[in-house]
Amino acid sequence: MRYISILLLSLVFFSCGGKRNVALNRSGGQLNGAGATFPFPIYSKWFDEYYKIDKNAKINYQSIGSGGGIRQITEGTVDFGASDSPMNAGEVKKAEEKNNSRILQIPTVLGAVVLTYNLPGINKNINLASETIADIYMGKIKKWNDDRIKKDNPDVNFPDKEIVVCYRTDGSGTTYIYTDFLSKVSPEWKQNHGTAKDVRFPVGQGGKGNEGVTGLVKQLDYSIGYIELIYALQNKLNYANVKNKEGEFITPSLESVSKAADNIVDEMTASLTLSVTNAKGKGAYPISSYTYLLVLENQKDLIRGRILKSFVKWALTDGKKFANDLGYAALPQSVVEKALQRVELINFNGKPL
Amino acid sequence: MIFACSIILIVLFIIAEMFQDSVEAREVFGWKFIFSSDWDPVKEKFGALPFIFGTVVSSLLALLISLPISIGVAVFLNELVNKALRTPLSFLIEILAAIPSIIYGFWGIFVLAPFMRNTVQPLLQSTLGFLPFFKGTPYGTGLLTASIILAIMITPIITAITRDVLKAIPTAQREAAYALGATKWEAIKMALLNARSGILGASVLGLGRAIGETMAVTMVIGNRAEISASLFEPAYTMASVIANEFAEASGNLHVSSLIEVGLILFAVTFIINSFARLLIYSFTRKTEGK
């Protein structure tokens, strides 16, 4: 009996320990990555196309979520991570101490969050001011025929119905982008609810995933919810024009999202992490955001480091052309240049790759 | 013997691991964790009461709905229906058990929820609206809808076991009942009375499934960490919050709190199971004592 339990114990420990060792010591061309689900389609397209160019570059990516991507790059179990929200100071510190290397956060593409709604009988895109959106999500504007909604849509006849608020209940980059936007346009939101992948919404009900929120909005008359732009485009959902910092009502599109990033490229510091919600300048859609690749500056393996570096460079330049077809907004050229400079820092034992 | 021991070992491992990983949450919140209904990841305040409430209420309600249906189906299949119908019918019920829970979830949100909103909930409100359970806006989603989905999901299990238990009752007993002049209904009543410990066991299994169910529930329950008397309001369950928030939980305290929710889920399952065991035990002793 004792013998058996020892056997079982050792089996469990070996299987845990073994995996980690394989990930660290494995040589050769295969790269492992993990992280955000949002950019997964474009990343797998890139891996695929890049493999056609370099037959040594076999890249494997697990879309386990941004939080998982940050955890795994911190633990050193993957060659690169991916996250929709930049790592916060505490996460960066922990990851850098553990890996003995700086963490580079490289923006790859842009995404956006749109407000979709279910208003029977109203087919055109409605206009929503950002403060109005915040007040709807704080339960202060309760009805569709509120004066502040009517003011921005003079030719729409809103019903005297209660607004049914829907939100994402699973932790997600989408919620992070959305609450980042709300925090910027409403000090009260920032104070009481904050910016995070999970927040406590004061009103409404939650759906799981983009499909869950969409399901709720489709089923519940007079509801409103927020989802990813790509998902809304693919499923031909209607969405609101949102008022930006300049007071224009902007229809979410790949162009208006790229525009938001381009308008504030001057504010981007060397770390490349920058929130582009509520960006200034004409034509910018206010609920936009970068998604990032997380890469260690000091690579632990010569061959894999070299492949990783050339892949990222390729993705930022030649890879750009695949973005729009898949529904992602490509980085403006100004950002690509900054990102490329950052990628050059990747090295092995102090020697550039 | 080896396999039996390995199961015990695995369970102990899981408990030990969860206990260890939730140490931070237990230190910060203590017992307040169970009694507080504040769940705010941004401010790092965590209390599990709404999830415990949601899990227990939705599962018990599901059992309450499912039990009469299951017993009825089992009796019908075993005692009343002729052989030609029995096989296809029981096959259909068993197929219900094989449907993945995500399918139930989608069915729930696209078919059941609108039906609840447009038909069932207004009806309940107009007839029983004075009760606190049926107040509030009928959204279609919420605690009641989740319970109904769960009830459908656990019906096949309870039905199958109840049938087996009824089958196990010797024919001689039934014949004796008829010989004493019992009507068909009285004979069935007697059979059910004899099978009650087995039926109770079936309910426990069903309840266990309902407590652990994640996907289907999360799609229709509304996912709101609040406790409300109304069954129409959105709620949240322990399994759902773990599934929803674990992958993206960033703070250590958040992860640790979610693991503690898992530990509580374990404890709740354990308590309900032992309670049912106790019930079965006292039942069987009573019958033997007679």
pLDDT tens across A79-104, in order?
999 998 898 888 899 999 999 999 99
Q: Can you tell me the distance from the alpha carbon of A194 to that of B59, in angstroms, rounded to the nearest whole number? A: 33
User: Which residue of A191, A208, A214, A221 to mutate against B (max B Cβ within 10 Å)?
Assistant: A208
Is pLDDT of A12 > 50?
no
Q: Which residues of B touch A (CB under 8 A)?
A: 2, 5-6, 9, 13, 39-43, 106, 109-110, 113-114, 117, 137, 139-142, 218-219, 222-225, 234, 240, 243-250, 254
Per the model's pLDDT, the better-predicted residue between B128 and B143 turns out to be B143
Inform me whether the pLDDT recorded for A19 exceeds 70: no
Chain A residues near residue B218 by CB distance under 8 angstroms? 169, 208, 212
How many CA within 13 A on the CB side of residue A168? 25
pLDDT at A318 over 50: yes
Q: Tell whether the model's pLDDT for residue A14 goes beyond 70.
A: no
Within this chain, domains A2-110+290-352 and A112-267 share the same CATH topology: yes
CA of B178, closest CA in chain A: separation in Å? 54
Which chain B positions have a beta carbon within 8 Å of A69's beta carbon?
A: none
Regarding predicted confidence, which is higher, B175 or A177?
A: A177
Class of domain A112-267: alpha beta
Under an 8 A CB cutoff, do B106 and A215 touch? yes
Q: How many CB atoms lie within 10 A of CB B157?
A: 23
Share of chain B above pLDDT 70, in %: 98
Q: Which residues of B touch A217 (CB under 8 A)?
A: none
CB interface of A with B, residues 204-233, below 8 Å = 204-208, 212, 215-216, 219-220
Q: pLDDT value at position A29? A: 64
Q: Give the confidence band of A42 by pLDDT, cuts at 50, 70, 90.
A: very high
Name residues whose C-beta falls within 8 Å of residue A216's C-beta, 6 or more positions apart in sequence: A166, A205, A207, A223, A225, B109, B141
Question: A194 in contact with B at a CB cutoff of 8 Å?
Answer: yes
Confidence at residue B201, expressed as pLDDT on a 0 to 100 scale: 86
Q: Which of A4, A65, A206 sits opposite B222 (nearest CB)?
A: A206
Distances in Å between the Cα of A190 and the Cα atoms of A136, A138, A187 are 15, 11, 5
Output the CATH code of domain A2-110+290-352.
3.40.190.10
Q: Does A93 touch chain B (CB under 8 A)?
A: no
Which of the 8 DSSP states describes residue A56? T
The C-alpha atoms of residue B12 and residue B17 are separated, in whole angstroms, by: 8
Interface A-B: count of C-beta contacts within 8 A: 105
B chain contacts of residue A195, beta-carbon cutoff 8 Å: 42
Domain ranges across chain A: 2-110+290-352, 112-267
CB spacing of B222 vs A220 below 8 angstroms = no
Per the structure block, which two tokens stand in for B274?
A: 């032992």
One-character DSSP codes across A122-173 = --SPPEE-HHHHHHHHTTS--BTT-HHHHHH-TT----S-B-EEEEE-S--H
Give the per-residue pLDDT at A28: 55
Best CA proximity match to B187, nearest among B73, B68, B89, B80: B80
With a cut of 60, say whether residue A23 has pLDDT above it: no
Report ipTM for this prediction.
0.78
Query: pLDDT band at residue A7, thresholds of 50, 70 and 90?
Result: very low
The strand ranges marked E within chain A are 31-35, 59-62, 80-83, 103-118, 127-128, 164-168, 205-207, 223-228, 241-243, 249-250, 288-296, 298-299, 329-330, 347-348, 351-352
Residue B134: HSE in the Cβ half-sphere, 13 Å Cα cutoff: 14
Give B165: exposed, middle or buried? Use CB within 10 Å, 0-12, 13-18, 19+: buried
List chain A residues with CB under 8 Å of B137: 162
How far does Cα A340 stand from its chain's mean position?
20
Q: Quick check: A204 and B224 CB within 8 A?
A: yes
Nearest to B245 among A198, A212, A215 (CB): A198
Distance from CA of B212 to the nearest CA of A (A): 17
- CB-based contact, A163 to chain B, within 8 Å: no
Whole-number Å distance between alpha carbons of A121 and A223: 13
DSSP chain B: -HHHHHHHHHHHHHHHHHHHHTHHHHHHHTTHHHH----BTTTTB---HHHHHHHHHHHHHHHHHHHHHHHHHHHIIIIIS-HHHHHHHHHHHHHHHHS-HHHHHHHIIIIIHHHIIIIIHHHHHHHHTTSGGG-S---S-SHHHHHHHHHHHHHHHHHHHHHHHHHHS-HHHHHHHHHTT--HHHHHHHHHHHTHHHHHHHHHHHHHHHHH--HHHHHHS-------S-TTS----HHHHHHHHTTT--SHHHHHHHHHHHHHHHHHHHHHHHHHHHHHHHHHHHHHH-
Q: Indicate yes or no: CB of B247 within 8 angstroms of CB of A64.
A: yes
Q: Does A168 touch chain B (CB under 8 A)?
A: no
pLDDT at A10: 47
Best B248, B255, B257 member to test A by mutation, with max A CBs in 10 Å, is B248
With bands split at pLDDT 50, 70 and 90, how would you rate the model's confidence at A159? very high
Helix (H), strand (E) at residue A312 = helix A302-316
| Residue B288 pLDDT > 90 | no
Q: Which of A67, A172, A199 sits opposite B42 (nearest CB)?
A: A199
For residues A70-107, one letter each, b for 16 or more C-beta atoms within 10 angstroms of the residue's C-beta and e for the rest, the string is bbbbbebbbbbbbbbbbbeeebbebbbeebebebbbbb
Instruction: Tell me if chain B has a CB within 8 Å of the CB of A67.
Output: yes
**In chain A, which residues have their Cβ closer than 8 Å to the Cβ of B247?**
64-65, 67-68, 170-171
Q: Which of A205, A208, A212 sits opposite B234 (nearest CB)?
A: A205
Q: Does A243 touch chain B (CB under 8 A)?
A: no
| Structure confidence at residue A315 as a pLDDT band (50, 70, 90) | very high
Q: Which residue segments constitute the domains of chain B, with CATH numbers given?
A: 2-289 (1.10.3720.10)
CA atoms within 13 A on the CB side of B32: 9
If we measure between CA atoms, which residue out of B181, B273, B76, B249 comes closest to residue A66? B249
Do strands A59-62 and A31-35 pair parallel, antiparallel, or not at all (unpaired)?
A: parallel
Output the average pLDDT for chain B. Answer: 87
Q: What local confidence, expressed as pLDDT, does residue B261 receive?
A: 94
Q: A35 CB near a chain B CB, below 8 Å? A: no
